[in-house]
Structure 1
Amino acid sequence: MLRLLLGLALLGLAEALPFEQRAFWDFSLDDGPALPADQEEASGIFPTSGVPDFEDVVPTYRGLCPFGCHCHLHVVQCSDLGLSMVPKQIAPDTKLLDLQNNQIRELHQDDFKGLHHLYALVLVNNRISQVHPKAFSPLHHLQKLYISRNLLSEIPPALPPTLQELRIHDNRIRKVPRGIFRGLTSMNCIEMGGNPLQNSGFEPGAFDGLKLNYLRISEAKLTGIPKDLPATLNELHLDHNQIQAIELEDLIRYGKLARLGLGHNAIRMIENGSLASLPLLRELHLDHNRLSHVPPGLPGLRLLQVVYLHANNITQVGVNDFCPMGFGVKRAYYNGISLFGNPVPYWEVQPATFRCVTDRLALQFGNYKK
């Protein structure tokens, strides 16, 4: 029962989850479905290790709950109440504070005073345009900050050094200044899509000193792959932008990538040798672009297992476009290649083209229909 109440308090966060492919044909899930319970730790929503269980801690301040809110143990839910400011009388032992879907316009210096144990703060879908430089100073244990769908023109300053996950998409942010992440040494996820960010908006050194696992900058105004993102990235998603080409030096910095999302751009050209910088790549999304041929270098990516190339302008598929030549060359077998929605005469493609694919169900080809 207690876990059910906690799940309800977090229901509004589900649509903000990063894309997690559970099967090759889940093409329609790129906007981020809710994950099953056994994958929730990877999503960063529910802590399953390193923090006390909500059911195991006896609340100290049983009678303290803001008017109109629902409070149970360490969860305070004040969503959908039309609030114009952060409510007072929040129990100091609160671990999750849900303030989404209100009319809050500003975060003041003392709004979160005394909330030293707060683990997750949800401010999604308000009207916040101003954040006091010291608004988050009392939050010594904050790990999750969800402040998407507001009116912010800049990333809030002085983020807590304990922060692991920042979701700030669908705001009005145009610049990522140098030093904005100063004090944060390691993070799991930053989601900043849906902001009018251009390549020039990333100041040199904006991510200096930050070890980051997952970054998504979708639905922005990028015309190329930013060159100064954290080199530690395991996942980078730049879908729904205006990127037109991938040049040789664009990916050199990101050699640890396992998943790269570049779907829904305007990519016409991928320079030969560009993908060789990604020896650990397992999944590549290049769907809904303007490619006229299969990107060069795929056979050399020994760990690559999934390639999305549907909805491009590919007219020919060569016998060695996907698999290495010769015998005894070790590489992982593909378990997914999508080529549908391309003007390829599929009857002319040699069967040996897909010799390093697990089985025919892993390949979606199909005829091209205008």
Structure 2
Amino acid sequence: MRFLLLFCLLAFGHTKPYRPVNIMDFMKNYDIMMADSDDDDSDEEDDEDDYDDEDCPAHCRCSPRVVQCSDRGLISVPEKIPEDTEIIDLQNNGITEIKENDFKGLSKLYGLFLINNKISKIHPKAFRNMHHLRLLYLSYNQLTEIPANLPPNVIELRFHENEINKIQKDAFQGLRKLHVLELGANPLANSGIELGAFNGFSTLYVGMAEAKLTAVPKDLPSSITELNLDYNKIAKVEVEDFIRYKNLQRLGLGFNQIKFVENGSLENIPNVREIHLDHNRLKKVPPGLGSLRYLQVIFLHSNKINTVGFNDFCPKSASVKKNPYTAISLFANPVKTWNVQPVTFRCVTSRRAVQLGNFRK
């Protein structure tokens, strides 16, 4: 069950984080998520037939343990939210501030959706006593920094498309159950990440796409298995970039300005399954791909690669490669396809897995 929950969260991490959450679709998977929780509230279940509409906050729609207040023109969090509420939907409103007592007494809250408001300020005690909160979505707001005292048991944090330009030291301290951290589409530069910003917590997925990064951040949690740095201004990949990230399985570096990958850089991520280096300025295939035993997908299209060597993708010994490639993309490069030997792709599942031509009519 825990694996199924993790799979769902990471799969959602690949979608556009700024899209509004369909609460009805979310509720279909809610029982699965709650079953994975280590909290046992079976003796406190409410009788859904006895729910009283008079307990529902003004301008909201309610069902047992769910309060839906999206698209209501609200400028503040509504009052008198029932204490047994587990899901609050406040998307697409005009809320500008989260005050100290806005969620007071909501100790059973599991998911809080605040996407697409105008929130620029969150009180340091706004999330106190939220030990059951697992999902906190604050994408599409006006936050300039990470809120203080985040809920300790949250597993998914989304800050996509705010105005965050700095991450303070210990900003995520104590978040040891976090699976997904989305920070994409913020004006975040490498200089805005304080040393120790990621101290004291672990996570599996980190998204920093569409930021202002000029280099791979080197102080992220060593636990990450997925890293999305697409649409930045990274110009090169160096050996020390991935030394901390031995567990990395998926790496996104597409749509950057990468001109070269230093020899030995990719050997630091021996478990990687998927690498995106498309839409960059590479003139040759990155060195070291043949040593990656589990690599199955490599995107190199829309670069400036003009030659492909015999051993660029596959090891000399067939026994070294544990997983064959399922996708190699090299189209939209100036490489002359007739100069590429077919045996170059000897460790690929089938010829259809290689996209070499430009498919121009």
Asked if Structure 1 and Structure 2 have the same fold, meaning a TM-score greater than 0.5 normalized by the shorter chain, the answer is yes
Match of 1:310 in 2: 301
Q: Distance in 1 between matches of 2:320 and 2:124?
A: 56
Q: Which amino acid aligns with 1:19?
A: H
5+ residue gaps, structure 2, are 1-8
SS at match of 1:284: strand
1:303 shift after superposition = 0.4
Q: Paired residue for 1:11?
A: none
Shift of 1:180: 1.2
Deviation at 1:140, TM superposition (A): 2.3
Within the alignment, does 1:184 sit opposite 2:175 as a pair? yes
The 5 Å alignment of 1:1-370 reads 17-19=12-14, 46-50=33-37, 57-59=46-48, 62=52, 63-367=54-358
Q: Are the aligned partners of 1:18 and 1:32 in contact in 2 as well (CA < 8 Å)?
A: no
Letter aligned with residue 49 of structure 1:
D
Structure 2 equivalent of residue 4 of structure 1: none
8 Å CA contact retained: 1:154, 1:175: yes
* Deviation sequence 1:161-202 (CA, Å, 0-9, x none): 111110001001111110111232231000011110000111
**What is the one-letter code of the residue matched to 2:68?**
Q
For the structure 1 residues 227 and 44, does the alpha-carbon distance in structure 2 shift closer, same or farther, using more than 3 Å as the test? Answer: farther
Q: 1:351 to 1:48 in 2, by over 3 A?
A: farther
Report the secondary structure of 2:191's partner residue: helix
In 1, Cα distance between the equivalents of 2:258 and 2:247?
Answer: 22
CA shift for structure 1 position 18: 1.5
> What is the CA distance between 1:89 and its match in structure 2?
1.6
TM-score by length of 2: 0.89
Q: Deviations over 1:112-154 (max 9, x none)?
A: 0111100000000000011111011132211100001001111
Residue type matched to 1:360 in 2? R
Q: Distance in 1 between matches of 2:31 and 2:296?
A: 25
Shift of 1:328: 3.8
What displacement does 1:45 show? 9.7
RMSD: 2.9
1: distance between equivalents of 2:59 and 2:218?
48
Unaligned runs of 5+ in 1: 1-13, 21-28
Structure 1 residues 329 and 136: CA distance shift in structure 2, 3 A: closer
**CA distance in structure 1 between the partners assigned to 2:326 and 2:234 by the alignment:** 27
Q: Secondary structure at the match of 2:13?
A: coil
- Larger fraction in helix: 2
Separation in 2, partners of 1:295, 1:33: 38
Q: What percent identity do the matched residue pairs reach?
A: 52
